[in-house]
Amino acid sequence: MTVFSVHHKTTYRYKNPIRPGLHQLLFRPRDSFDQRLMDCRIEVVPEPAEVRWIHDVFGNCLTLVDFSEKCEFLEFETFIRLEHTPENAPDFRIEDYARSHPFSYSDDESPDLGPYMRRHHPQDVEVEEWLKTFLQKDSSRPTGQLLMTLNEAIAEGFSYKRRISSGTQLPAETLRKQQGTCRDFALLMMEASRALGFAARFVTGYVYVPKRDGPLRLGGGSTHAWCQIYVPGSGWVEFDPTNGIVGNRDLIRVGVARTPQQAIPLSGSYWGDAEDELGMQVRVNVKTEGGSTARSAAAG
């Protein structure tokens, strides 16, 4: 078991006073068998008029922050501390009927998994063409091996590139460019898995990177993203195609969603002129208790 602490600060600056609108944060992890939240707090400048918590449609904990005063400086600072138990992955325990792909989910599970199996970008036929390069048509293959091959194909065949612009690029664009951010790679694996008949969902959170021990990383895009694939007998299994990780090792899960657009770490609005915005700075510090500091991977 490891104790992780995460300090995440996002700062906005404006040329003239603006009126902040409602902001939404997704930063509080839910307790589970593999991670237990020990501490969670948020500090906001200027003093908000209201802070409240709700659960979204996926059961994620959202923080809603509203303001009543104008400002030229807006800052959100969050702190979490949690116990983390890594899985011995890949250790797939798969139901007999699902050990080989293709297979169909059971009648009890398929109605609930349906929305996660549906392709969200079916127009991207490049996904199917890419799958043909390393998967033989009409052939059976061990399910666990197939998913690991897909994860490794993205980790080894694509280049990570930080992107200043927000959002997630379409899978076809990721395939054409052979590069992207972790959100792009997660979406590509989700769409490829769905094309193969799997249920897949998006995960947002943080990753601890021991090899990157050192000072804080500065700049935008400071959270990490990966995906989960539903495997009968193992449940929702973590796949991080950016780093080639299978299982939850070094991954701090904050929230899950059907699409990347539904799992934005921080979003909001303001009343003011567009040219008033001077920029955003993000600082993230992920460390082990009593241990070293590491930077989070970037979502871009």
Q: Express each pLDDT in 16-47 by its tens digit.
A: 999 999 999 999 998 899 999 999 999 999 99
CATH at 13: 2.60.40.2250
- Which pTM value belongs to this model? 0.90
Give the number of other CB atoms < 10 A from CB of residue 47: 11
Sheet of 224-231: strand order equals 245-246, 235-240, 224-231, 200-207, 251-257
Q: Which whole number is the average pLDDT over 260-276?
A: 94
Domain that holds residue 31: 2-85+264-294
Residues 6+ apart with CB under 8 A from 89: 237, 238, 246, 247, 248, 249
Q: Is residue 16 in some structural domain?
A: yes
Residues 107 and 61 occupy one common structural domain: no
d(Cα 189, Cα 242) in Å, to the nearest integer? 10
pLDDT the model gives residue 167: 83
How many domains in the chain? Answer: 2
Residues 126 and 248 occupy one common structural domain: yes
Q: Is residue 300 in some structural domain?
A: no
Query: Confidence class of residue 164 from pLDDT cuts 50, 70 and 90?
Result: low
Q: What token pair was written down for 96?
A: 């007999």
CA distances from 229 to 119, 194, 246 (A): 14, 9, 11
- Note whether 76 and 10 are within 8 A (CB): yes
- Note whether 179 and 158 are within 8 A (CB): yes
Residues 108 and 248 occupy one common structural domain: yes
